[in-house]
Amino acid sequence: MRNAFVSSLFAAFCLLTSVADAAPGIALEGGRARETAPGQTVGAGYVTIINATATPDRLLRVASPAAAEVQIHDTSMQNGMMQMRLITAGLSIPANARVELKPGSMHLMLVRLAKPLVTGNSFPVTFEFERSGRLVTQFTVESTGSASATEHR
């Protein structure tokens, strides 16, 4: 009896953890891009990646029909220089963390835009994570006058 109780408890525990494993551990919030100037061939996209699980993950790739290529970049201001670097090894997403891609910091660079980004339009962006697999979210194009578009580190 006692053994049966323990084993069913164990089974329930396994079921619970397997359910947690199967659920997507990562959520994407506030996906947005900046409207582009006429003729501008590159754009910037921002999003918050939320990992509510106790396991770290890694963002490997990002893609969108809006651009030929979507790169993960980091902008930094160091020693009087403004620098922008491509993050090639993927972006590590710690356990129980929010990773914010925001202006003046880490961001997505939309390279060779299919067409100009116009305020109010939206487009899908696919994120591929090492553990959580693929997630698709919609990015909304924001005017370059909006407050969230100027937030600086």
Partner 1 sequence: MSKHFSLRAIALPLLAAVALMSACSAPPPPFNATEVPGLKYGYGVELTDTDDKPRRIEDFRGNVTVVFFGFTRCPDVCPTTLMRLRQMRASLGAAATDVKVVLISVDPERDTADALRAYVKHFDPSFIGLRSDTKNLEGMLRAFHSVAVRVPAADGSDYTIDHSSSIFVYDRKAELRLLAEPNMDMTLLAADLRRLVAEGK
Sign of CA dihedral 16, 19, 23, 26: positive
Indicate the residue among 26 and 108 with the shorter CB distance to partner 1.
Answer: 108
Q: List beta partners, residue 76.
A: 83
Does position 40 interact with partner 1 (CB under 8 A)? The reply is: yes
Total Cβ atoms within 10 A of residue 80: 5
d(CA 54, CA 152): 29
Indicate the residue among 16 and 86 with the shorter CB distance to partner 1.
Answer: 86
Q: Which range, of 9-17, 48-56, 127-135, 145-153, touches partner 1 by CB under 8 A?
A: 145-153
Does position 110 interact with partner 1 (CB under 8 A)? The reply is: yes
DSSP 103: T
Total Cβ atoms within 10 A of residue 70: 20
Contact map string, positions 78 to 97, toward partner 1, x by CB under 8 A: --xxxxxxx-x---------
d(CA 137, CA 135): 7
Sign of CA dihedral 65, 119, 59, 95: negative
Q: Residue 133 Cβ, how far from partner 1 at the closest point, in Å? A: 26
Q: Which range, of 12-20, 49-57, 73-81, 132-140, touches partner 1 by CB under 8 A?
A: 73-81
Q: Which range, of 40-48, 51-59, 91-99, 121-129, touches partner 1 by CB under 8 A?
A: 40-48
The structure tokens listed for 149 are 């578009």
Indicate the residue among 73 and 131 with the shorter CB distance to partner 1.
Answer: 73
Judged by the rule CB under 8 A, the positions of this chain that interact with partner 1 are 34, 36-44, 73, 75, 77, 80-86, 88, 103-104, 107, 109-111, 144-145, 149-150, 152-153
